[in-house]
Amino acid sequence: MSRVRAVALYSGGLDSTLAILAVMRQGIEVKAVTFLNHFGCEISDKSSCSKDPFSAATKFGFEVKLCHLSEKFIDIVKNPKFGHGKNMNPCMDCRILMLKEAKEFMLMTGSEFIITGEVIGQRPMSQRRDALDIIDREAGLRGLVLRPLSAKLMKPTLAEERNIVDRELLFNFGGRTRKPQMALAREYGLTEYPAPAGGCLLTEPNYSFRLRELLRHDPSPSLTDLHLLRLGRHFRLNQGCKVIVGRDKSENEKMLALADAGTVLLRVPGYGSPVALVAGPITGADLATAASLCARYSDARGLSVVDVIVSQGGSEQVLQVAPASAGLVEELMLDMARKSRIGLPA
């Protein structure tokens, strides 16, 4: 007889790993799916993710499939049916989208149900009991989503009613404490797991401020525009154009990697200089403003006139500009703290 299968939403974090192990311990084969979006940490970014986000999968022997939500995710960020959280995070819609995608995978693999590591009451918006019911209903998965860590606080799912899963071996964890999960991890021999993550970039106030501002000016931003929101200081020059000034070597390098042949780049020769990248079409006076901003953040900022090299594709020109004044920086910089200080909408 073939083994019962389940599909798990897997982030690599403690809760989703424990949920999988709890079900595997009942002899059920688990196929995990990790969903990626443009606003999460990069799997290769060792500074924000654990060294090997899938070390538990290797250790305990379950498969992980990666699935990028791409445009579908951007659509819900722009227009979430259930609204945004405190910032631009559409957590309810995000969970629904992930479950809808997992449902496809469940049907494809002949699996019986879906597992998530959600714990009732752990997050204010998407992990209330009523919110979880709505999420399952909207995903077309009523009774088919098992949350092993909080199962005993919830109505039995179909898998429990059909005795595919023994409810007695599931848990009643609730709220924000992680002590029961840590104790269970010890019991399961799960020794390495990442610190709890606060959510994706959309939960960050300043990133959300920049994204809202971008969407006001361009309802369909490119992926490059979205990636650039993570980097540098941003200045809006006009409706369709921003200049982004790198804050350190690593940001300069990332910005250069995002530039294509048509991108206008600026730098100050002969001095320590940031990379300044122009996002959008730019001409005349705005180019001089971009150059003055680049000069302001270079080591030549004390000079009255600074040479700035403007390059695009293979061509270069030199502009001579005065470094931007503090007043101009205040006026153009897109920074939540500054704008709220001068009374502009965040």
List contacts with ligand SF4 (CB under 6 A).
89-91, 94-95, 126, 199-200, 202-203
Cα–Cα distance measured from residue 68 to residue 38, given in angstroms and rounded to the nearest whole number: 8
Annotate 148-157 with b (16+ C-beta within 10 A) or e (fewer): bbbbebbeeb
Return the closest-CA partner of residue 70 out of 102, 38, 94, 100: 38
Judged by beta carbon, residue 8 or residue 278, the one nearer ligand SF4 is: 8
Residue (9 or 334) nearer to ligand SF4, CB: 9
What's phi and psi for 138, nearest 5 deg? -65, -30
Q: How far is the CB of 224 from ligand SF4 (least distance, A)?
A: 21
Tell me the chain's radius of gyration from C-alpha atoms: 24
Among residues 37 and 181, whose Cβ is nearest to ligand SF4? 37
Which CB atom, from 97 or from 259, has the smaller least distance to ligand SF4? 97
Least distance between ligand SF4 and beta carbon 67 (Å):
13
Give least dist CB 203 to ligand SF4, A.
Answer: 5
Residue type at 75? D
Cα separation, 60 vs 43, in Å, equals: 20
Specify the residue, 94 or 170, whose C-beta has the smaller distance to ligand SF4.
94
- Between 35 and 297, name the residue whose CB sits nearer to ligand SF4: 35
Q: Quote the least distance from Cβ 80 to ligand SF4, whole Å.
A: 9
Minimum CB distance to ligand SF4 smaller for 64 or for 91: 91
| Nearest distance, CB of residue 37 and ligand SF4, angstroms | 6
Token pair, residue 28, equals: 């059920």
Nearest approach in angstroms of CB 139 to ligand SF4 is 13
Least separation in angstroms between CB 118 and ligand SF4: 10
